[in-house]
Amino acid sequence: MEASNTVSTCTPEVAQGTHVFDILGYSKHRGMGNDAMSYIRSGIFTVGGHDWAIRFYPDGHSEACQDYISVYLQLLSKNTEVRASCDLRLMDQYTGLSSSVHKTGPRIFSFGAISGFAPQTGKFKRRSEIEESAYLRDDRLTIKCIITVVKKPHVTEARLFPKIDMPPSDMAEDVGRLLEEKGGFDVSFNVEGETFGAHRFVLAMRSPVFKAELYGLMREASKGHHITIEDMQPAVFRALLHFIYTDSLPRKHLEGDDNTEMIRLLLVAADRYAMERLKLVCQSILCEHLKVDNVATTLALADQHSCDKLKDACLEFIEISDAMDAVVATQGFKDLMVTCPSLVVDALEKRRKFRKA
């Protein structure tokens, strides 16, 4: 008798959204009182087709919470019940990273009821812990709320199984081993006294500039098999070679804000060797780490190296940020006014149009 093996799956359908509530002039909001009506509400935002807002009580929700700030997520869609979870976080103003303070759910949020709020306590964070921490800088406090709305699950029809999936490509690993094993090198580079070996055909395959230098009209200028690289740090060239051979950046360059300067230098190197994919990878990483204190410097870099997507991202960040005064006060913005005043005009014009809208 022939066996019939079938399978069906149940998958939750979710919609997730993030809202960042920037509270500027934190100290000036104190003294409102600690009753239920003494709060500041964020702008209304939509997640999963439902309207939400964040309530911020600078002096706490009640006398019992007078030593705390109170923060709530509120469901605003009328006559609605929503199954959702939320993660309320505070942002480290120095690193841009956030830490979870309260998680709720998943559970039912009901409009007009106590269950329409999260959390169910007014003691969100002790005020002394905030005012003596990196959460508060330049009198600015940032609340980040991640909401996940859970909808009805999706159940598939029964289907035959198993099936044999195609294996993932391992070509990048194979090529990467060429660099690791250091065999068959036919060209070397001197970078500030450090020597790097490589394969001419791999470099030519990945960079049109290397191709011209090693095989084309620039070959004579490159002095054969030994090439000196000017104006580049050895660590940057090492990361460049890693990307050429593996199509990826070393893991240490992908984690944390400490590597932002290395990514900037890699973007410059990518532009120098016409490596458009690496250039886009660097733009993506720099975009993820945009902050008030670096957006002007990043904007100047993007303009200098024709990174239109990163340039647009910087202008949009300035446009939607409520901390324009803080951006203007940075050294990067002051340098930008000297080196490229037209970019400053673009940024201020976008900001003006955004406020008019």
Helix count (H) and strand count (E) of the chain?
12, 17
Q: Is 231 left (phi over 0), alpha (psi -120 to 50) or beta?
A: left
165, part of any domain? no
CATH number for the domain spanning 73: value is 2.60.210.10
Sequential DSSP letters for 85-104: EEEEEEE-TTT--EEEEEEE
Residue 53 belongs to domain spanning = 10-155
- Which residue in this structure is represented by tokens 């409520």? 322
pLDDT for 168: 86
Instruction: Say whether both 197 and 124 belong to one domain.
Output: no
Tokens of 295: 């957006």
Instruction: Say whether both 191 and 129 belong to one domain.
Output: no
Tokens of 75: 């469901």
Q: What percent of the chain has pLDDT over 90?
A: 61
Average pLDDT of the chain to the nearest whole number: 88
Q: Which of 155, 179, 205 is the last residue of a domain?
A: 155
pLDDT for 332: 77
Whether the predicted pLDDT of 162 surpasses 90 = no
Instruction: Say whether both 306 and 199 belong to one domain.
Output: yes
Instruction: Say whether both 135 and 277 belong to one domain.
Output: no
Instruction: Say whether both 106 and 210 belong to one domain.
Output: no
142, part of any domain? yes
Instruction: Report the range of poorest mean pLDDT among 106-110, 142-146, 220-224, 344-348.
Output: 220-224
The CA distance from 190 to 186, in Å, is 14
Instruction: Say whether both 130 and 204 belong to one domain.
Output: no
pLDDT for 276: 96
Mean pLDDT for 2-6 is: 71
Instruction: Say whether both 85 and 200 belong to one domain.
Output: no
CA–CA–CA angle 157, 152, 19 (5° rounding): 130
3, part of any domain? no
Instruction: Report the range of poorest mean pLDDT among 38-47, 148-157, 235-244.
Output: 148-157
137, part of any domain? yes
Q: What percent of the chain has pLDDT over 70?
A: 89
Instruction: Say whether both 102 and 193 belong to one domain.
Output: no
Mean pLDDT for 105-132 is: 94
pLDDT for 7: 83
The model's pTM is 0.50
Rounded to whole angstroms, what are the CA distances from 320 to 31, 47, 95, 347, 353?
A: 29, 19, 20, 11, 11
Question: What SS3 state is found at 301?
Answer: helix
**Among 8, 9, 48, residue whose Cα is nearest residue 151:** 48
The CA distance from 230 to 154, in Å, is 58
Sequential DSSP letters for 244-274: HHHSS--GGGSSSGGGHHHHHHHHHHHHHTT
C-alpha 279: how far from chain center? 16
Enter the DSSP assignment of 184: S
Each residue's pLDDT tens digit, 198-248? 999 999 999 999 999 998 765 655 555 789 999 999 999 999 999 999 999
Please name every residue paired with 69 in a beta bridge, in sequence order, or none if there are none.
Answer: 125
**Among 207, 214, 219, 221, residue whose Cα is nearest residue 185:** 214
Domain count, the chain: 2
Q: Which residues contact 163 (CB under 8 A, 6 or more apart)?
A: none
CATH number for the domain spanning 339: value is 3.30.710.10
pLDDT for 328: 75
Instruction: Say whether both 95 and 228 belong to one domain.
Output: no
Each residue's pLDDT tens digit, 61-96? 999 999 999 999 999 999 999 999 999 999 999 999
Instruction: Say whether both 268 and 317 belong to one domain.
Output: yes
CA count, 13 A, side-chain hemisphere, 90: 22
Instruction: Say whether both 209 and 310 belong to one domain.
Output: yes
166, part of any domain? no
CA count, 13 A, side-chain hemisphere, 144: 13
Tokens of 246: 């593996």
Amino acid at 239: A
pLDDT for 167: 85
**Among 158, 156, 245, 159, residue whose Cα is nearest residue 199:** 245
Instruction: Say whether both 286 and 310 belong to one domain.
Output: yes
- Asked if 310 and 287 count as a contact pair (C-beta separation under 8 A), the reply is yes
